[in-house]
Structure 1
């Protein structure tokens, strides 16, 4: 049995998007609804928090030592040394109800991210990739809530989540970032909704279940092979870290819980960790298309 430990009971309203900083041995993640970026140093347990100008859907490391952060209406460079956010690119300025959501850097250094209807009603969300020249390229659309883009170890499959439809899709992915052969990979049953996800070194997919109180592990064929239970309902995403990439760091959320549930789930919104039986894949760094808008 895998037993997650709450390592930072910060009570995030919508904790999301953990990434691993190898050099700092730290986890960075966001609280979307409280407009915050957080850092947890795994060796010293030191914590830091920065305010963001608008809702940060994701944060990913960049090759200049800073981070790229997807705020409500654009991509920004975030420097934790100063706390400054500098705009790189506008995204979907013409879709008022939308905001950016989950993001991921692929092994080639390209950023993938999604948008969503912030009211969680209309299929106005889309999946994007940032090109070599910094252009925002739409790769798929028709989503209410996008989540969890990630790729297989051989880089030939991209997984992407339609959270409201409880569906994880698989796409064929070529070396130029083109997607084809969209198909249903996992259909989650019951009342839980698939949120963020990560792939391990064996090619298995670990899926955080919002409202499900667990993370489920699936084989590369889509068969469920393991479950990690948590003492709170809303599990949002995980990242593999540590020197051996076998420590999973997991974000959770209080969003959507009634006052009574919030009182019962005392660790809801906390940052958790557990040891994985297999290592994950290394944290990728954004090296392509980091172009400042002029």
Structure 2
């Protein structure tokens, strides 16, 4: 690792970085700082590497607390996998519901590396579910991965994802509906807006088969709703994140579909004309430059 002045960072500097991160850690809710909370994938990767290098329990605890909180909150899609953009609140309860390819590519690897170091069943589940989300919901017919799913549908953010107790009762029946409401944190007043709640899974179900059945029924109901629009741009750099994550997860977790999807996307990237493989940040800088030139031209005219 290189510092801004050009010198190599030593063990002391890296350990100091861990200590500084610990100062901003939210011990009650996981993550760093206050709301809104963004999952800092590179920070978590750094902490995992530090824990592996030094045996630091502190570094590993920062990762474990954050990853568990994110995966159990409303920012993670408890029905079909994949993470929303960020959390509006400090408890990871209410997300900005947009799902981005580059976020999920990075988070998949974080959870994979967390699983590799700890054997966490939660981490393994999140990796498998998020990998399926990338393939099932973002893979394009050509084999690449689309950029994002919108936050909105039917004129409201989050409509596709949220439930209220009455919807659970109608779908599942009174007994299973009440059980699901308690399990998923769906309340009468709601945890989101208009009496709706995001779905949270703060504890593993005491009856896994019952949860599997409930999850399947809720997915079927959700499938009848208006789906958020998909941004079908295939951005090479973002696809690279998904390709590397799926390939690594596929090998480590013996998921051949993940490897096959990674290969298909990589082959698509190889077939694209070089001029079309423009990184998103480069494209944005180019557009800003064009706008500045246009503004100067108008002024000079």
TM-score range for the pair, normalised by the shorter chain length: under 0.3
Q: Which has the higher strand share?
A: 1
TM-score by length of 2: 0.25
Q: Which has the higher helix share?
A: 2
TM-score by length of 1: 0.26
